[in-house]
Amino acid sequence: MAENSRRRKWTTRHVWLYRLFLAALLSSGHLFSACRAELVASAATAPIDPVLQRIWQSATASDAAYQKLIELCDDIGHRLSGSPQLDLAAAWAVKALRQDGIATARLEPVMVPKWLRGKESLQLVAPRAMPLVMLGLGGSTATPVGGLKAEVLVVRDLAELKTRAAAAKGKIVLFNQAMPAWTPQHGSGYGDTVQQRVHGAQWAFEHGAVAALVRSVTAQSLSTPHTGGTRHQGRGTPVPVAAISVEHAELLARFAARGIKTEVLLQMEAHEEEPAASHNVVAELIGSEHPGDIVVIGGHLDSWDVGQGAHDDGAGVVAAMQALATLQRLGLQPKRTIRVVLFTNEENGLAGGKAYFEAHKAERHVALLEADSGGFAPVGLGVHGKDDAGTAALAAWAGPWLQALAAIVQLQVVPGEGGADISPWLQLGVPNFGLVVQGEKYFDYHHTAADTVDKVDAKELARCAATMAVVAWQLAERPPD
């Protein structure tokens, strides 16, 4: 999930819109209950589209998506941009799609940034010696040979750093902003707390610090650091930057609160190399009546270089692949073309999404749907228009349309949620959709060594594939409205 463009994961404005939407639903009391009851009743009595029912039953009865995830994650592993593993994953995806009868599966070339982690470590030197758990952030520069030893200044956020600017000079700044626990009403709070990770190195540099540490962006931690990208100009951040575990961020904060000086030794070999050749994976079922009208479904094939990238975003990749494979296996040909795109380099550059847009912007795309929130149970369909008015109009359009699907799958409309890879299409006014899943556990694993296949439930993943299939089919079959 890339944060410098969107979701998976949101900008502050999108989080605000989502919270406002949910608050309105929850505050409506009996009205909401009545509407929900009416929805359930109408779903029970409305005729079920037999084609949609076949698609749903076929996809949910199969564990093929999970078997694909096992192959991708266990046999290939994590897939950082520019790595041999990402090349293997692209070749694997083409082969798997062709084995499912999708003869159009192919590679499209993309140049991607290549950042390498190298060896890295963090040691507490004072007031006592002990190792600290860390992961360098994507795009970080290296420390000097032999490492960087300095006193730690603990702050909550940029606002506190500004009030203590004089104390930051020559220090290593630790941003210790806690991420709130996930709730159904407010989601994760990721869009706010991720800012320290995205901008922390730049903020520290601007205030005279020699490096930055960031409390991992998660509400739950078992001494597990979370990596992720940073935003900066040029190649490499202005100062080295790493994430540390919640437990060790709290340890340093407790020392600071007691007036005890802390000193650490940070060692990092991280660096950028020349851009590398990579590929998007593209495959489609050609439309029967409007082959030039294209509905895209997909996810991103790359991941960070820890764990297996199972939820982020192996699940989205195999769900999209299996959605297309289900339609192919059932012998269904949509009126419009349904195209799967597996994007490269979402995590640290969005080169795949940008390259796909440039290569295909002359084609008529009518909708794009991305899955990049994990393989948990689907609960909603995100809608994102060109601007706030476009998003509101799209949400109003999607509500009745999703009610028609309610006999098969019940999805809430979630304004402001689309996908980082498909966002370039908003400038042309093409609607963006995002698969919204139950999000309570996602940021427990996000960008960590714990993002592995065993965290994904096969039945929930099958529902993701089924949801993508029925939504794509409906978008491809609808009249031109």
Give residue-wise pLDDT tens across range 302-338. Answer: 999 999 999 999 999 999 999 999 999 999 999 999 9
pLDDT value at position 17? 41
Give the per-residue pLDDT at 465: 98
pLDDT at site 405: 87
CATH assignment of 118-269, among 3.50.30.30, 3.40.50.720, 3.40.50.2000, 3.40.718.10: 3.50.30.30
Residue 458 has pLDDT above 70, yes or no: yes
Q: Where are the beta strands (DSSP E) in 93-240?
A: 106-116, 120-126, 130-132, 134-136, 148-155, 172-175, 211-215
Annotated active-site residue in 3, 71, 120, 346: 346
- pLDDT recorded at residue 34: 37
pLDDT, one tens digit per residue, over 328-348 is 999 999 999 999 999 999 999
Query: Which residue type, as a one-letter code, is found at position 100?
Result: D
Residue range 239-286, pLDDT digits in tens: 999 999 999 999 999 999 999 999 999 999 999 999 999 999 999 999
pLDDT tens per residue across span 173-201: 999 999 999 988 888 889 889 999 999 99
Name the pLDDT band for 394 (thresholds 50, 70, 90): very high
pLDDT, one tens digit per residue, over 357-381 is 999 999 999 999 999 999 999 999 9
In sequence order, the β-bridge partners of residue 320 are none
- Within a 13 Å sphere around the CA of 194, how many CA atoms are in the beta-carbon half? 26
Domain 12-113+274-477 class? alpha beta
* Amino acid at site 464: C
Q: Is the pLDDT of residue 444 over 80?
A: yes
- Distance (Å, rounded) from C-alpha 324 to C-alpha 359? 22
Find the mean pLDDT for residues 53-70.
97
Q: Among residues 435, 331, 367, 326, which one has the least CA distance to residue 60?
A: 326
Number of CB atoms found within 10 A of residue 428's CB: 11
Residue 36, by phi and psi: left (phi above 0), alpha (psi -120 to 50) or beta? Answer: alpha
Cα 158 from Cα 398, distance rounded (Å): 39
pTM of the model: 0.90
Instruction: Work out the average pLDDT over 122-126.
Output: 98
User: At a CB cut-off of 8 Å and minimum separation 6, what does 319 contact?
Assistant: 65, 299, 371, 375, 435, 461, 464, 465, 468
Is residue 288 classed as helix, strand or coil in its secondary structure?
coil
Q: What was the pLDDT predicted at 211?
A: 98
Q: Which two tokens stand for residue 380?
A: 């909603």
Q: Mean pLDDT across the chain, nearest whole number?
A: 91
**Distance between CA atoms of residues 57 and 19, nearest Å:** 33
Instruction: Kindly tell me if the per-residue pLDDT of 220 is higher than 70.
Output: yes
pLDDT at 139 over 50: yes
How far from the centroid of its chain's Cα atoms is residue 137's Cα? 16
Of the candidates 279, 278, 316, the residue with the CA atom closest to the CA atom of residue 297: 316
Residue range 206-224: mean pLDDT, rounded: 96
Residue at 18: amino acid letter: Y
> Does position 39 have pLDDT exceeding 70, yes or no?
no
Note the pLDDT of residue 481.
63
Distance of CA 109 to the CA centre of its chain: 22
pLDDT digits (tens, 9 = 90+) for 157-172: 999 999 999 999 999 9
CB atoms within 10 A of CB 70: 17
Contacts of 289 (CB under 8 A, 6+ apart): 335, 336
Number of neighbours of residue 13 by Cβ within 10 angstroms:
11
DSSP string, 64-93: HHHHHHHIIIIII----TTSHHHHHHHHHH
Q: Beta strand 134-136 with 378-384: parallel, antiparallel or unpaired?
A: unpaired
Distance CA 400, CA 378 (A): 18
Task: Please tell me the predicted confidence (pLDDT) of residue 46.
Answer: 57
Residues 71-80 pLDDT 10s: 999 999 999 9
Residue-range domain boundaries for the chain: 12-113+274-477, 118-269
The CA radius of gyration of the chain, in Å to the nearest whole number, is 23
Q: What is the pLDDT of residue 1?
A: 66
Alpha-helix residue ranges (DSSP H) falling in 282-436? 315-329, 351-360, 388-403
Q: If DSSP codes are grouped into helix, strand and coil, which group holds residue 213? A: strand
Is 358 annotated as catalytic? no
